[in-house]
Structure 1
Amino acid sequence: MPEPASTPNLKDQTIADFGEQWTAFRENPDYYGSAELLADLFGPLLSLDDIKGKTVADIGSGTGRIVNMLLDVGASRVIAVEPSAAMRVLKENTIARADKIEYLALAGDQLPSDLDLDCVVSMGVLHHIPDPAPVVRAAFKALRAGGRCIVWLYGYEGNETYLSLALPLRKVTVLLPHKMLVALSYILEIALTTYIGLCRIFPLPMRSYMRGVLAKFTREVRRLTIYDQLNPAYAKYYTRAEAEALLSEGGFADVQLYHRHGYSWTVSGVKPT
């Protein structure tokens, strides 16, 4: 569900928040930056083989994690779209493959319409955009006929217990300065690691995600995951109906959903021919 817009410049504040976040948390080690995790994000909606030889845009590239994943699985060219100060980190983390990347220091809704893309991906980004509809429309226009858009979103269903704790906490943490939030993330990571251990024994909430994803992250990445939940000025947790409507109302056909680990939504749609 959406959090209320508290300032008229919420979009700009969220972009600034992520610029600070990705400048501080620059690395994408091990499983966190792997093709295995990309396959988990796509689920049954898109095969990694479907990326081979394709031109793909990544909306909200941050530190270049998804860009590198896409190139790892064979994308021929990636359009990396990032509006924040993280662009510098993105370029540093992908410098060895810069000949296959076009860097666009733009918001997603400014994606050029003449790219004739095979695919547009946006993993964990649209739920931080107060009005994502213009971004979806821009993705639609940038795709070739028959091209695919696939996005990953925070989900509401399955997260009710978590949200009862996280949303009240976010009312405070979005106001904290960076260093204080980093310190809080260190403390909460200890609790998270303990909870992951308990999930190995007991059928606790979000057990699948804890064991299948977070347990594979380094402790540094777990701290980043906590920071990422508590930092951005805006975050929305989508219901199934809202997630489906996001692409269907943007003109996409054959919209399919995957309830990833029972807590988030991966949504895929095709631009009609």
Structure 2
Amino acid sequence: MNDKKNSDAKTVAGFGDEWTRFDQTGMAEAETQRLFDSYFSVFPWDRLPANSVGFDLGCGSGRWARLAARRVGTLHCIDPSSAIEVARKNLAGLPNCKLHQAGVDDMPLAQKSMDFGYSLGVLHHIPDTQAALTACVSKLKSGAPFLLYLYYALDNKPWWFRAAWRLSDLLRKLISSMPHGLRYVSSQILAAVIYWPLARLAWLAEKLGAGVSNFPLSAYRNCSFYVMRTDALDRFGTSLEQRFSRAQIQAMMQAAGLRDISFREATPYWCAVGFTPLAEQENR
């Protein structure tokens, strides 16, 4: 019997530090809503039953849970790190949020009991992403949707873009090996001298009529500096990071038992939703 947990202790501790520093209270409500809408653009809210019960795996500070909870009956917010205490504070006014400090191996949910689930920007930080995804899907009822966001392998970008990313990944490996304090300071310097200038340059280029889809960090062109600071720590402060192509993500979702998979065809790449088979399909 293998008792080894599907988690990385250093990564979990890093996220606890990140969400304590960036509890998302410095983020404007309109920006939070805009980003939420982009991640959930393919999610079938209209197909959920009344008073639906679901889960957010890797809820972090609770920034997405705060908005999702308003549209469902009960939301189980699950995170293995100390960030669960940040989420507890941020979700205090939402009694339908049930918080659990747990990992993907020990989610306190019965098998096939959930009407929906989602995990955004989390499973690529788990050693065995496929096993983690399969564990999430196992909690869903038949016909239930699961929304997934994984870091993408830049499979829709030119070669030079991927080469630049490989250089940045060397820097990530260096920074993520530092103590939390130095990791934080280094990421904030990067946010100020790389994220902000490139994002604003992309914003200006777009205003002048240029295409910016392949411009480095153009996804941040309409984001606040607070978001850039948060994501710089998220990106460069995390020791375990995996990336997957669209084809790989689809194959993983299918292997986990999801059907009718569809992808968001815009940033953030790749967001995808799939459904567990209906009971009659399972018996075929």
Fold conserved (TM > 0.5)?
yes
Number of the residue aligned with 1:56: 54
Number of the residue aligned with 1:66: 64
Shift of residue 234 of structure 1? 0.5
Number of corresponding residues? 260
Number of the residue aligned with 2:197: 194
Larger Rg: 2
Residue identity opposite 2:232 in structure 1: I
* Secondary structure of the structure 2 residue equivalent to 1:189: helix
Whole-Å Cα distance in 1 between the matches of residues 151 and 164 of structure 2? Answer: 12
Aligned with residue 171 of structure 1, among 166, 170, 173: 173
Aligned 1:218-257 pairs, distance under 5 A: 218-257=224-263
Number of the residue aligned with 2:105: 109
Deviations 1:83-106 (CA, angstroms, capped at 9, x unpaired): 111111110111111x20111211
Residue identity opposite 2:195 in structure 1: L
Q: Does structure 2 conserve the Cα–Cα contact (< 8 Å) formed by 1:62 and 1:90? A: yes
Whole-Å Cα distance in 2 between the matches of residues 144 and 176 of structure 1? Answer: 42
Whole-Å Cα distance in 2 between the matches of residues 128 and 102 of structure 1? Answer: 23
Aligned 1:36-185 pairs, distance under 5 A: 36-43=34-41, 45-50=42-47, 53-72=51-70, 74-97=71-94, 99-111=95-107, 112-114=109-111, 116-156=113-153, 157=155, 158=157, 160-185=162-187
Whole-Å Cα distance in 2 between the matches of residues 115 and 249 of structure 1? Answer: 17
Distance 1:9 1:231, change over 3 A: farther
Whole-Å Cα distance in 2 between the matches of residues 130 and 33 of structure 1? Answer: 31
Number of the residue aligned with 1:264: 269
Structure having the higher strand fraction is: 1
Q: Quote the sequence identity (%).
A: 22
Shift of residue 208 of structure 1? 9.4
Number of the residue aligned with 1:5: none
Whole-Å Cα distance in 1 between the matches of residues 47 and 215 of structure 2? Answer: 30
Whole-Å Cα distance in 1 between the matches of residues 99 and 172 of structure 2? Answer: 32
Number of the residue aligned with 1:3: none
* Secondary structure of the structure 2 residue equivalent to 1:34: helix
* Secondary structure of the structure 2 residue equivalent to 1:172: helix
Q: Does structure 1 conserve the Cα–Cα contact (< 8 Å) formed by 2:175 and 2:186? A: no
Shift of residue 207 of structure 1? 4.2
Residue identity opposite 1:187 in structure 2: I
Q: Does structure 1 conserve the Cα–Cα contact (< 8 Å) formed by 2:173 and 2:239? A: no
Whole-Å Cα distance in 2 between the matches of residues 25 and 17 of structure 1? Answer: 12
Structure having the higher helix fraction is: 1
Whole-Å Cα distance in 2 between the matches of residues 206 and 217 of structure 1? Answer: 17
Greater length-normalized contact order (CA 8 Å, ≥ 6 residues apart) = 1
TM-score scaled by length of structure 2: 0.82
Shift of residue 196 of structure 1? 1.5
Whole-Å Cα distance in 1 between the matches of residues 104 and 62 of structure 2? Answer: 15
* Gapped regions of structure 1 (runs ≥ 5): 1-7
Residue identity opposite 2:196 in structure 1: T
Distance 1:37 1:31, change over 3 A: farther
* Gapped regions of structure 2 (runs ≥ 5): 279-284
**RMSD of equivalent CA atoms:** 2.5
Distance 1:260 1:128, change over 3 A: farther
* Secondary structure of the structure 1 residue equivalent to 2:14: helix
